Structure 1
């Protein structure tokens, strides 16, 4: 039995990076996956095609998550897709898992940051999480799970990331608050906080940062999208049925390093 057999999951920001890794891993573990994207439709369709080649089910849904109404429309569309699958072919039935992954990470020194730049990051990284979680809780039954992708920067800020770090710290606290209030409905809410995740060209674009990370991390390497995806699979699975309000750090141990 695969860990997510029979589940229907919505993954936001699923066209690349961590979101792509989560969507593929969820499908490998038996879930049907609704893949959200904002503009990268072709990339999301390529992920959907890979999922279908596995023999799993996928759909691509577009939405602008800085708009609360769009968040609600997205969740409703994923739930309707799940219901239609059950009616037509006997799979699905209801939306059982959401991974709130969509986010942005611009660099901007705090002294010159504008309120508009602050709001763009907070609305994308935090307000969308609030709206999508609230909408999902309205359509999920007991056993549903919501996982937010936070960051180790929620507790370890980096230069020029004041807006990003603040938004991710708030995402962690939102999950704890949501776990408290949605727990009586049987819905679990957790966060996964990745460290530095590798991407194509990262070592070329930021060699000094990659070298520092690799040297400080006890496990001696950057993270991979699959590392984060495996944590999300665990939290959405029956193996985590008594885990809620938890922040699962996935950083190769860099957070345990001494600061002096």
Structure 2
């Protein structure tokens, strides 16, 4: 499925959390744009290997990104595959639901480690390889909840706000090395069983989104392709909402 004439032809991309639905969509879109893709997963190796077979020009690397040594090893493995790394998409993360009053310090720290520290460490390691070849592109998968709070998601929203700010800070510091760092902030992305499990939430989203639909993993992947491509060569430190227009609605 790799298009050798696509906008990412010849580039090597690492997608963390590629065994999940959103990661699948991102990896597929990068491959369709011509990239060779390194698929990271934590435990679902079989699912990641199925995707690698579908893509063709892909490998799988597993690791627990809450561990510093695994973050560095995963990126090192990606670089060693073809001797370079051009694109990193920090997609791995967790999204538990729990009210502020019930959150423990351990809950808080676990989520920040999984969502923020992992992206910081993977970016730091990837930047070494990218700088050696004159540049590259890093994309964090943030969320509209990084700027719009939601009940039960305080720790998640804080982590996504942190990713948005990390990307801006990293864009400032890594820019002179030719490395661009941006975020994509998805809105509500569809997945199997979502409408049945949360009909009221899906209904509210349809009513709020000017485009009147949920997002798809491919929508998010397409935004990643754009930010990784030469079409975005003068774009860095930017948060790109991909939310069907929900961010455009007034809050009063």
The alignment of Structure 1 onto Structure 2 pairs a total of residues equal to 246
Deviations 1:34-85 (A, max 9, x none): 0000011111011101001xxxx100000100011110010000000022xx
Alignment of structure 1 residues 233-252 onto 2, 5 Å:
233-252=225-244
Is 1:133 the counterpart of 2:123? The answer is yes
State the Cα distance separating 1:192 from its structure 2 match: 0.2
Equivalent of residue 211 in structure 1, options 197, 200, 203: 203
Deviations 1:75-123 (A, max 9, x none): 000000022xxxxxxxxxx110000000100000100100111111100
- 1:50 matched to 2:54? The reply is yes
Alpha-carbon distance, 1:143 to partner: 3.2
Is the aligned partner of 1:193 residue 2:185?
yes
- In structure 2, the partner of 1:7 is 11
| 1:102-181 superposed matches below 5 A | 102-140=92-130, 141-181=133-173
Residue in 1 that maps onto 2:40: 36
Counterpart CA distance in 1 for 2:33 and 2:97 is 35
Q: Which residue of 1 aligns with 2:71?
A: 71
Which whole-Å CA distance do the structure 1 matches of 2:45 and 2:196 have between them?
27
CA RMSD of aligned residues (A): 0.7
Once residues 177 and 234 of structure 1 are traced to their aligned partners in structure 2, the CA distance between those partners, rounded to angstroms, is 21
**Shift in Å, 1:199:** 0.2
Unaligned stretches of 5+ in structure 2?
none
Instruction: Give the aligned partner of residue 61 of structure 2.
Output: 61
| Structure 1 SS opposite 2:124 | helix
Deviation at 1:149, TM superposition (A): 0.2
Q: Secondary structure at the match of 1:105?
A: coil
4+ aligned runs moved over 2 Å, structure 1? none
Tell me how far apart the structure 1 counterparts of residues 112 and 65 of structure 2 sit (CA, whole Å). 11
TM-score (norm 1): 0.94
Write the distance in 2 (CA, Å) between the matches of 1:112 and 1:215: 31
